[in-house]
Structure 1
Amino acid sequence: MSAPEGDRLRIAVQKSGRLSAPSLELLTAVGLGFAPAGDRLFCAGENAPVDLLRVRDDDIPGLVADGGCDLGIVGADVLGEFAAGAGVRPPSLLRELGFGRCRLAIALPQGLNWSGPASLAGLRIATSHPRHLAAWLRANAVAAEIVTLSGAVEIAPRLGRADAVCDLVSSGATLAANALREVATVATSQAVLVGRAGGLDAARAAIAGPLLQRLDAVLGVRGSRLVLCQAAREALPALLPLLPEVSTHTVTAIEGDPERISLQALCRRAPDWPALEALRGAGARDLLVLPVERMLA
């Protein structure tokens, strides 16, 4: 589908890093296809009037805020850092996407004592999130020096550039590898979808609307499973409580055997092996657990 340049939607995503691959997977899940990227920053849409811009994570809020892009997928930590800047109108938060979860945390070298935020008084704290850190220090009435770095924050104490760090933490392995221990959480983060604060014009809104509906159809069932089985009708009251987080279920009579039913249940998470074994023990047979990619109500 082709469209004039002014009638095409442009989405910014991280070119490389922890959000890059999941962002592209999500866009594929909602039906978008793009020309092979390679090292190119701009990728034309192949099956819809939607183009992709692959850039640094830190650049995405600004690109959406100034209209260079219409939508963007970015870390909530990066969005918050941008929004805390003076005199800026940040993009609007449209959706929380549920991947790229991490936290912005204070970490200290193993030999440095911690008895609460006051322990940071007078210390130098290295971070790539100075606005988040400054707000947290103010909230805790702590006077400390903020050392702003664009990368390699975790090695700042070893290099003598800081006494502590405020950095993104996922598993904690990087902190441990640099002899640091996490002591406090400044903020939590995940991937989010953002859009222009003033909204889109009519042409772009007409493209974005169905995409957001598709996105909700994918996000709404992420992690869900469809559980199918057969059982005696009298076993149904015992089976339903054993299904994990059922959002809806359907019971159908089996043709030719009115005393047996087919049960179909949409569960918000996958049943583990003990749950499946309990279902079998309660009379379920021919159990199937299927992934759910999307669901339109």
Structure 2
Amino acid sequence: MKLRIAIQKSGRLHDESLQLLKECGVSIDNGKDQLKAQAKNFPLEVYYLRNGDIPQYLKDGIVDCAIIGENVLIEKGEGIVITEKLGFSKCRVSLAVPKDFEYESLQDLDGKRIATSYPNTVLDFVAKKNISVDLHIINGSVEIAPNIGLADGICDIVSSGSTLFKNNLKEVAVLLKSEAVLAVSPTIMNEREEILEKLKFRIRAVLKGRDAKYVLLNAPNDSLKRIIEILPGMKSPTILPLSEEGWSSVHSVIPQGDFWEVIDKLKDAGAEGILVCPIEKMVL
């Protein structure tokens, strides 16, 4: 029996999903234009699907799990469980209007025409804000809608904002923030859940490795206590004596988000020869 996983057929999420599986040690026979592929060394079948179709495949039990944008699940995936947030393909779903639109608050959009591919998300948001909008549902690029008189504004995913800028639009409200997630079918069989747990174990090890750096440094022994207090290692740092009397080598792990702040403190505490290495995987 094999676990059936869906990923986006093409695009950035497709590439990053395959990269994650590769880092999990899963080798996939991935021929050009295939809609389904087999893993060579793990009980896994990969289905390449349109992003918007994946929630229904999960609901129907055609696939057991999927790597998908959280925003798509919020729009179409009611009842589907998110089991892991994956930390890549981050974006936001936002409202945008033409740059010459005199916008001061959400009330300025009351009664306006909004073009979007996310009608459920928009309606839920505006209902909570006690305003109403006239939706024009578009499956595809919506940025052009205000320029051709089809809508007063749009609601779409935003990453860098460059597409909005090119289309003379400005972002005025963020409805939600999104990233890639691992979602699970409500009908997954117990036997496949066991395979899923093994895959999740590997994914967590990769993600923890991505989010940390391995640090080696030299420190005078009289500064060790202060340096150890600074280091946020998994349990405690490794300390080894150097051949030079009065000095030790300290090995530890630093979370990526705290990296530069911790390094500055280590230098101030007397650390020297600081060496930083990437971590491929981290199993706790």
TM-score range, shorter chain: over 0.9
Q: How far apart are the structure 2 equivalents of 1:117 and 1:132?
A: 15
* Partner deviation per Cα, 1:107-150 (whole Å, 9 max, x = no partner): 01011111211111121100000000011111111121001001
Deviates more, 1:170-179 or 1:218-227: 218-227
Q: How far apart are the structure 1 equivalents of 2:229 and 2:168?
A: 47
Q: How far apart are the structure 2 equivalents of 1:141 and 1:281?
A: 53
* Partner deviation per Cα, 1:192-239 (whole Å, 9 max, x = no partner): 10111144222x123222111111111223231010012211122343
Given that residues 248 and 265 in structure 1 are in contact (C-alpha distance below 8 angstroms), is that contact kept between their aligned partners in structure 2? no
**1:1-297 map, 5 Å:** 7-83=1-77, 90-202=79-191, 204-240=192-228, 246-254=233-241, 259-269=246-256, 271-272=259-260, 276=263, 279-280=266-267, 282-297=269-284
Given that residues 231 and 262 in structure 1 are in contact (C-alpha distance below 8 angstroms), is that contact kept between their aligned partners in structure 2? yes
How much has 1:36 moved relative to structure 2? Answer: 2.5
Q: How far apart are the structure 2 equivalents of 1:37 and 1:164?
A: 41
Question: Aligned pair count?
Answer: 283
Q: Which amino acid aligns with 1:51?
A: E
Deviates more, 1:250-259 or 1:226-235: 250-259
- Structure 1 residues 199 and 238: alpha-carbon distance in aligned structure 2, compared to 1, 3 A threshold: same
**SS, match of residue 26 in structure 1:** helix
Q: How far apart are the structure 2 equivalents of 1:81 and 1:279?
A: 46
Given that residues 59 and 187 in structure 2 are in contact (C-alpha distance below 8 angstroms), is that contact kept between their aligned partners in structure 1? no
Q: How far apart are the structure 2 equivalents of 1:281 and 1:187?
A: 40
Q: Structure 1: state its 5+ residue gaps.
A: 1-6, 85-89
How much has 1:248 moved relative to structure 2? Answer: 4.2
Q: Which amino acid aligns with 2:108?
A: S
- Structure 1 residues 256 and 177: alpha-carbon distance in aligned structure 2, compared to 1, 3 A threshold: closer
Q: Structure 2: state its 5+ residue gaps.
A: none
Q: Which amino acid aligns with 2:271?
A: A
Identity of aligned residues (%): 34
How much has 1:59 moved relative to structure 2? Answer: 1.1
- Structure 1 residues 168 and 237: alpha-carbon distance in aligned structure 2, compared to 1, 3 A threshold: same
Q: Which amino acid aligns with 2:225?
A: P
- Structure 1 residues 179 and 240: alpha-carbon distance in aligned structure 2, compared to 1, 3 A threshold: farther
* Partner deviation per Cα, 1:136-189 (whole Å, 9 max, x = no partner): 111111121001001111111012111100111111111111111111111111
Q: How far apart are the structure 1 equivalents of 2:89 and 2:114?
A: 24
